[in-house]
A and B are shown apart, each in its own frame.
Chain A
Amino acid sequence: MFNTILVHVDLSSHAPARMRYAASLAQNHHAHLIGAAMFGVSRSIFPVGYASRPGTLEASYFDPLELNARRALAQFEEIATQTRVGHETRVVCDQADDGLARLARFADLVVISQDDPDEALPDLAVHLPEYVILNSARPVLVVPRADPPAAAGRDVLLAWDGSKEASRAMSAALPLLREASTVTIAALTGPNFNADEVRNARPDLMHFLGRHGIAPRVLIREPQRDAGHELLDVAAELACGVLVMGCYGHGKLRELCLGGASRTVLAEARIPVLLAH
């Protein structure tokens, strides 16, 4: 169950859509919503938090950052109050990436935005979605920069290739799948995963989901181009509102590189994507 949802709060032009999406999710799942605005300076600089000393040089650098965080949280407060969800605000003395990954430990779902190349905010110098997905133990819902309406997402597409990553994403997304009006499993075949394997695993898959009250249909497709684009195509054809997929971590040494499919999807998705690692 999603009982605690964590949403990234900042001054991005996409923040209102992201916060509205998170608030409506919290409403549907009767969850508590935590809005976290990051100060933008690593916690290693201010291990016990930032305390302003007015008139100092330090204050002239850092007070505006704190002010930005508070302004962003005021927007959040307004949206959360409108939506009438139980909520709380946090100013976190850390960078956006690490602050979110650490707070994710005490949430059931994290909501962030897709990177927008046209909008370079100073605290988003790293690829935020990649970092949070790979460093948080929780599923991450990435709201696209197309700013979808909060109500979207009744039809869900679940990417399936039989891997343990896909399996982890499936189980992390159960609350979302339960709320969906339809669930379609897109089984993309490939060199390591043929249609026979899909058919063999199908009863187990259907029963597992069935016992959670989910009755999906299964679509077996041989990708015409790469898996990432194929998934986005299928999602568009079926007019799905959310895509659920696992992603590969590639071991600790290559943690900053996501696999091809998730990279494509993160770059190009126009619908919300739930990723689990």
Chain B
Amino acid sequence: MGYKTILVHVDASAASSDRIRLAAGLARAAGAHLVGSALTGVSRFVSPAMAACGDARLAERCAALRRDAALALQRFDALVRAEALLSSEARLIDDDADGGMSVQARYCDLVVVGQAGAAAPGQRDDLPEYLLLTSTRPVLVVPHADHAGALDGPALVAWDGSVEATRAVAGALPLLRAARSTTVVAFGEDAAPCAQLAAWLGRHGIAARTGHSMLDVDIGEALLTMAADLGAGLLVMGGYGHARYRELLLGGVTATVLRAMTLPVLLAH
């Protein structure tokens, strides 16, 4: 299934424009509807009536948050017009970025968010992780550093045979179909299933090259190096296959990639 509805997070950060452009380009190529969603940060549990009967400073603060979000959406509108998209909508929603995006993610095929570390002041900074764990859709994370490669350049798929990796590859099919080439690198002792993965991808019209790595430490760094060597425009991987506390203690592939990535990464959990 191609992407028919793409949801992009719109905020006041400097990285927002790049992210919207990338999402708009994808939507245009796929003929998909693009939803630009700006979350005000005002809790959905605070109704306007409640805010009005509270302290005047509260109402002022809410109004300021809504104004910022509306400004960000104006930028979204301008960028979408410049990309000449056929179908799009801008949404201003009273909610936290994480909860609000997670609920809307149920009604889209792909979620596009920015890498953590570039959030606007006062916003939570773990949106990619949060969405990865709580939404059911693949999440495309756009780096905040300038990235040279195009999304439809070479793609690198990290494969360890896990449920998470399987979901990521399935969620990335439309992107892999558009990619100039697809390289699968398998980690772990068992290289055999790689051929089966290639056969399955083949029936989806994707000719993948496969390779194998015996590495079992610093996989995150290794992946990013491989992606750089390939000149990759996209990395596809499962996310948080290990329990969270283990990731916290030991650091993990997902955490490393999310922190150090310089190319768009598609993740699924």
- Interface residues, chain A, CB within 8 Å of chain B? 1, 3-4, 32, 102-108, 135-138, 162, 164-165, 167-168, 171, 174-175, 201, 204-205, 207-208, 211-212, 252
Contact = CB atoms under 8 A, between A and B. Distances in A.
Interface stretch (B65-73, B196-204, B247-255): B196-204
A164 B105 CA distance: 9
Interface residues of B, number: 29
B5 A1 contact: no
29 contacts: A1-B204, A3-B200, A3-B203, A3-B204, A4-B200, A4-B203, A102-B193, A103-B196, A105-B161, A105-B193, A105-B196, A108-B170, A135-B163, A138-B170, A165-B136, A167-B105, A167-B106, A167-B107, A167-B136, A167-B137, A171-B1, A171-B136, A201-B107, A204-B104, A204-B107, A207-B107, A211-B5, A212-B1, A212-B4
A211 B136 contact: no
Interface in B116-160: 134-137
Given A167-B105, A207-B33, 15 more contacts: A4-B200, A105-B166, A105-B196, A106-B193, A108-B170, A137-B166, A164-B106, A164-B135, A164-B136, A174-B1, A204-B107, A205-B107, A207-B5, A211-B4, A211-B5
Contact of B167 (A137, A175, A201): A137
Contact of A137 (B135, B163, B243): B163
A1 B1 contact: yes
A32 B105 CA distance: 31
A137 B4 CA distance: 22
Contacts of B170: 108, 137-138
B185 to A, nearest CB: 16
Interface in B83-104: 104
B18 interface: no
Q: Is the interface of B mostly helix, strand, loop or mixed?
A: helix
Nearest to A169: B136
A171 B109 contact: yes
Nearest to B91: A204
B136 A106 contact: no
Contacts of B257: none
A164 B4 contact: no
A208 B3 CA distance: 10
Contacts of A211: 4-5, 32-33
B246 to A, nearest CB: 12
Contact of A252 (B106, B108, B243): B243
A177 B196 CA distance: 27
A137 B161 CA distance: 10
Given A137-B163, A137-B170, A105 B197 contact: yes
Given A1-B1, A137-B170, A211-B5, A106 B199 contact: yes
A162 B105 CA distance: 12
A98 to B, nearest CB: 13
B166 A138 contact: yes
Contacts of A136: 163
A168 B136 contact: yes
Contacts of B1: 1, 171, 174-175, 212
A212 B107 CA distance: 11
A7 to B, nearest CB: 15
